[in-house]
């Protein structure tokens, strides 16, 4: 199978929104009046972001999901994407399920594959997504910018801090798959879903336009991604660790409850700090693809309505403060030392395939 047969067979899908899709030197998109393009790229490298033998259908899903998650964080509606693929070989038994996983998620979000590039090389998948947001400035945006996109900047001291869904299960699944912790079969199966089939929170991002003051997606762990909001907004935050522990679905759903999770799974890693594992997964796990966002306390009802409208639960975890830095406090209000930093590909400890 040649390069062009491969593209024709697996990567030409209907593109009703695009003026021109795959097949020419460029694809053509007509932007709607008053709308801006939101553009983001994410690359997934074999051995770095996923194991080489990962199920190709799940991989097709995940490599688009991580890109849609960036659009979600900006409150942008997905429109189209391009796919740059380096493949060791043209293997239909791999390409077919990969394309299926990719297409199913693309269809679910009305996001059209409009072009790409295909070369031979070590497996590497790079997607660029395009979305749209209204160009008008938000009344509440400080400083003013001509866009309705949710940004990392814009949070104010006193804002509530929220996260969507659950956090840390993808990281926990990775720990289990790498043999560092042992989980009951059912608990592992659910955590693994989070690692392999993340759900980008596109509907929530759209619903939070005009409500959230700042937003980011949680791809590298809460500490790091909330850290981006703190840095870009020039603020700090206080977050309560009791609330964070409730965010790990595997711990909440553990037979016997959270205390049993800590005793059976957490204590096996560190008997001195049985809840350390759960806290580390939530704070530094990564690969969750939830949203972390801020909103003025007067917006609490609006935030809950956005959560309901988008079918995505949200939890209030803390408060933005003027003093820079992230402060963790326990249920009694005592300061807790962060169990570790978040993931960084170039730090000494950056060694996961995830």
Give the shortest CB-25-to-Mg ion separation in angstroms.
Answer: 4
Q: Which does 113 bind (CB under 5 to 8 A by kind): ligand ADP, Mg ion, none?
A: ligand ADP
- What span, in angstroms and rounded, lies between the C-alpha atoms of 213 and 197? 28
Of the residues 118, 156, 252, 264, which one makes contact with ligand ADP according to CB under 6 A: 118
Per rule CB under 6 A, is residue 130 in the interface with ligand ADP? no
Q: Which whole-number Å values give the CA distances from 114 to 27, 150, 181, in the listed order?
A: 6, 25, 42
Cβ-Cβ contacts under 8 Å for 113 (sequence gap 6 or more): 11, 13, 15, 21, 22, 80, 81, 82, 83, 102, 103, 106
Give the shortest CB-50-to-Mg ion separation in angstroms.
Answer: 29
Helices (H), the chain: 3-11, 56-74, 92-108, 169-177, 185-196, 202-207, 222-233, 241-245, 249-252, 258-261, 267-269, 276-284, 300-310
Per rule CB under 6 A, is residue 123 in the interface with ligand ADP? no
- What span, in angstroms and rounded, lies between the C-alpha atoms of 170 and 319? 25
Output phi, psi for 97, to 5 deg.
Answer: -65, -35
Per rule CB under 6 A, is residue 127 in the interface with ligand ADP? no
Q: Which does 22 bind (CB under 5 to 8 A by kind): ligand ADP, Mg ion, none?
A: ligand ADP
* Mask for 84-113, x = binds ligand ADP (CB under 6 A): -x---------------------------x
Question: Rule CB under 5 A: which of 276-315 touch Mg ion?
Answer: none
Q: Using an 8 Å Cβ cutoff, are 168 and 282 in contact?
A: yes
Of the residues 5, 107, 117, 330, which one makes contact with ligand ADP according to CB under 6 A: 117
Nearer of residues 99 and 215 to ligand ADP, judged by Cβ = 99
Give the shortest CB-24-to-Mg ion separation in angstroms.
Answer: 8
Question: Rule CB under 5 A: which of 17-36 touch Mg ion?
Answer: 25
Question: In the complex, which residues of this chain contact ligand ADP (CB under 6 A)?
Answer: 7, 11, 22-25, 83, 85, 113, 115-118
């Amino acid at each position: 199978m040649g390069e062009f047969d491969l593209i024709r067979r697996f990567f030409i899908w209907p593109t009703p929104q695009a003026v021109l899709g795959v097949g020419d030197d460029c694809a053509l998109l007509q932007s709607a009046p008053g709308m801006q393009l939101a553009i983001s790229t994410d690359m997934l490298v074999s051995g770095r972001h996923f194991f080489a033998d990962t199920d190709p259908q799940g991989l097709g899903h995940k490599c688009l999901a991580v890109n849609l998650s960036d659009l979600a964080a900006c409150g942008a509606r997905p429109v189209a994407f391009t796919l740059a693929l380096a493949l060791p070989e043209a293997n239909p038994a791999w390409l077919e399920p990969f394309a299926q996983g990719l297409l199913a998620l693309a269809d679910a979000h009305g996001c059209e594959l409009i072009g790409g590039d295909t070369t031979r090389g070590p497996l590497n998948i790079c997607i660029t997504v395009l979305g749209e947001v209204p160009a008008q400035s938000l009344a509440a945006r400080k400083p003013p910018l001509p866009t309705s996109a949710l940004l990392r900047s814009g949070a104010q001291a006193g804002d509530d801090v929220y996260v969507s869904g659950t956090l840390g299960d993808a990281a926990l699944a990775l720990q289990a798959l790498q043999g560092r912790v042992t989980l009951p079969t059912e608990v592992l199966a659910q955590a693994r879903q989070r690692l392999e089939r993340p759900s980008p929170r596109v509907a929530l991002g759209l619903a939070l336009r005009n409500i959230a003051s700042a937003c980011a997606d949680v791809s590298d762990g809460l500490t790091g991604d909330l850290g981006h909001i703190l840095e870009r907004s020039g603020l700090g935050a206080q977050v309560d660790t009791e609330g964070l522990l409730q965010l790990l679905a595997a711990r909440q759903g553990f037979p016997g409850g959270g205390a049993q999770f800590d005793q059976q799974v957490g204590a096996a890693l560190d008997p001195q700090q049985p809840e350390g594992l759960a806290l580390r997964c939530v704070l530094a796990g990564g690969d969750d693809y939830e949203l972390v966002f801020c909103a003025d306390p007067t917006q609490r009802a609006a935030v809950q309505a956005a959560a309901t409208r988008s079918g995505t639960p949200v939890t209030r975890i803390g408060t933005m403060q003027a003093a820079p830095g992230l402060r963790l406090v326990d249920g009694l209000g005592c300061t807790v030392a962060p169990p570790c930093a978040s993931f960084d590909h170039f730090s000494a400890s950056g060694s996961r395939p995830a």
